[in-house]
Amino acid sequence: MQKVAVTGGTGGLGSAVVERLSRDYDVVVLDRTRLDDITNEASVTKAFSAFGEHYALVHLVGGWTGGKVAETSLETWERMLALNLTGAFLAIRESLKHLTRPGRIVAISSIASVSPFTPGSAAYTVTKSALNTLMETIAAEYRGTGITANALLPDAMATPAMLRETKDPSTLVPLEHVAETIAFLLSEAAANTTGALIPLRK
C-alpha cells in the first residue's frame, strides 16, 4: 500500500482523517513519538528522513488565537506564525524531498483565511491566508510533475471541543466530510486538481 504521512493525526479531526485514509493507504501519524516539534527544523527533517519515501502528506497541525490587530501581542503573532505557517512550510519542504511521482500534499487551512471572522482573529486569519499562498506556490512549482498541492478551507468543524461549545451542532462541518474530501484529493480522480483552495461550509 502507498504510504501517507499525517501530521496532527491524533486530535478530533486527525482521528477521523486517519480512520478514513487507513482504508486505502498505509497511514503513519507523525505525532510526538516520531516528530518532537513541528516548528523545529532539525526535528522535522529527522522525522521525514526516518519516514522515507511516501505518496502523500496530509498536514493538519494548526492553532487558533483570537484578538483584533490592536489587541494582538508579538508573542501571539509569532506563535501563530510558527504553528500555522512555519510548521507547514517545514513539513511540506521535507515531505517534498521524499515524495513519489505522482504524489499529493493536502493542508488544512480555514474559511477564515478568505472570509475573516468579525470581530478579530487577526493572527490566525493572516497566517492561514499565508498558508493558502504557500499551497498555491507549491502547486505552481510542481505543475506537470505529478505532484499536486491543495488546501481545504473548512468552516467550524464538529470536533469534540466545538461540539461542547456550540448550541447547534447542525451548523458545524462534519469531520467525515472533511476526511472524505481529503481522500478524494489523494485519489487518482484528483490528479488534475492542484492549487485549489476548497471551501467546506455547512
Chain segment 69-121, per-residue pLDDT in tens: 999 999 999 999 999 999 999 999 999 999 999 999 999 999 999 987 667 89
CATH of domain 3-197: 3.40.50.720
* Mean per-residue pLDDT, 146-162: 93
Domain ranges of the chain: 3-197
User: CA 38 to CA 47: how far, in whole Å?
Assistant: 10
Buried b vs exposed e over 82-111: b needs ≥16 C-beta within 10 Å? Answer: bbbbbbbbbbbebbbebbeeebbbbbbbbb
Q: How confident is the model at residue 66 (pLDDT cuts 50, 70, 90)?
A: confident
* Phi-psi label, residue 91: left if phi above 0, alpha if psi -120 to 50, beta otherwise: alpha
- Whether the pTM exceeds 0.75: the reply is yes
| Number of Cβ within a 10 Å radius of residue 175 | 22
Q: What is the pLDDT of residue 99?
A: 98
